[in-house]
Amino acid sequence: MTETNTDVVINLSKCKNITLSGLILGHDISPKDQCMAGVVQMSNSENIIIDNCDLFGCGLLGISTYNSSLIVTNSTIRDCSKSILEISRGSATFKNCIFSNNGHGFISEDENVTSGIVFPSEYGIALTSGKISEPVSLQISDSTFIDNGNSTLLKVNQYVSRDEERGKVTYAFDNCTFSGNDWGDEIPSNTSDTPVAPTTPVTSFAGFVDVNANAYYAAPVAWAVEKGITAGTSATTFGPDSTCSQAQILTFLWRAYGSPEAAGTVSGSEYYALPFRWAQEQGVISHSLAPDSPCTRADVVTYLWKLAGSPEAQAAAFTDVSANASYAKAVNWAVEKGITAGVSKDRFGPDSTCTRSQIVTFLYAALGK
Instruction: Judge if 296 and 344 occupy the same domain.
Output: yes
Instruction: Judge if 42 and 118 occupy the same domain.
Output: yes
| Within a domain: 188 | no
Give the pLDDT score at 198: 43
Block mean pLDDT (10 aa), the chain, length 369: 66 92 83 67 92 87 90 95 88 96 67 46 84 86 93 78 67 91 78 46 67 83 90 80 90 94 84 92 86 91 96 92 95 93 86 91 90
Q: 135 is in which domain, residue-wise? A: 10-179
Q: Whole-angstrom Cα distance, residue 196 to residue 348? A: 46
| Within a domain: 239 | yes
| pTM for this prediction | 0.55
Q: At what angle do helices 246-256 and 273-281 cross, to 10 degrees?
A: 70
**Contact call for residues 253 and 233 (beta carbons, < 8 A):** no
| Within a domain: 197 | no
Instruction: Judge if 278 and 339 occupy the same domain.
Output: yes
CATH number for the domain including 90?
A: 2.160.20
Instruction: Judge if 167 and 32 occupy the same domain.
Output: yes
Q: At what angle do helices 356-363 and 297-307 cross, to 10 degrees?
A: 20
Identify the CA nearest to 190 among candidates 168, 174, 167, 201: 174
Instruction: Judge if 234 and 158 occupy the same domain.
Output: no
Sign for the CA dihedral angle at 57, 293, 106, 159 comes to negative
Structure confidence by residue, pLDDT tens digits, 324-343: 999 999 999 999 999 988 88
| Within a domain: 113 | yes
Residue-wise DSSP of 51-111: ES-EEESSSSEEEEEEEEEEEEES-EEE--SSEEEEEEEEEEEEES-EEES-S--EE-S-T
Instruction: Judge if 138 and 242 occupy the same domain.
Output: no
Instruction: Judge if 256 and 330 occupy the same domain.
Output: yes
Give the pLDDT score at 206: 75
Instruction: Judge if 155 and 64 occupy the same domain.
Output: yes
| Within a domain: 186 | no
Beta carbons within 10 angstroms of residue 275's beta carbon: 26
| Within a domain: 52 | yes
Residues 6+ apart with CB under 8 A from 367: 256, 304
**Contact call for residues 264 and 308 (beta carbons, < 8 A):** no
Instruction: Judge if 91 and 174 occupy the same domain.
Output: yes
Residues 6+ apart with CB under 8 A from 60: 35, 36, 37, 38, 80, 81, 82, 83, 118
Give the pLDDT score at 191: 65
Q: In what order do the strands lie in the sheet with 144-146?
A: 24-26, 54-56, 76-78, 98-100, 144-146, 177-179
| Within a domain: 2 | no
Instruction: Judge if 155 and 233 occupy the same domain.
Output: no
Instruction: Judge if 160 and 58 occupy the same domain.
Output: yes
Instruction: Judge if 154 and 14 occupy the same domain.
Output: yes
| Within a domain: 315 | yes
21 bridge partner residues: 51
Domain count of the fold of the chain = 2
Give the pLDDT score at 268: 82
Identify the CA nearest to 173 among candidates 139, 128, 217: 139
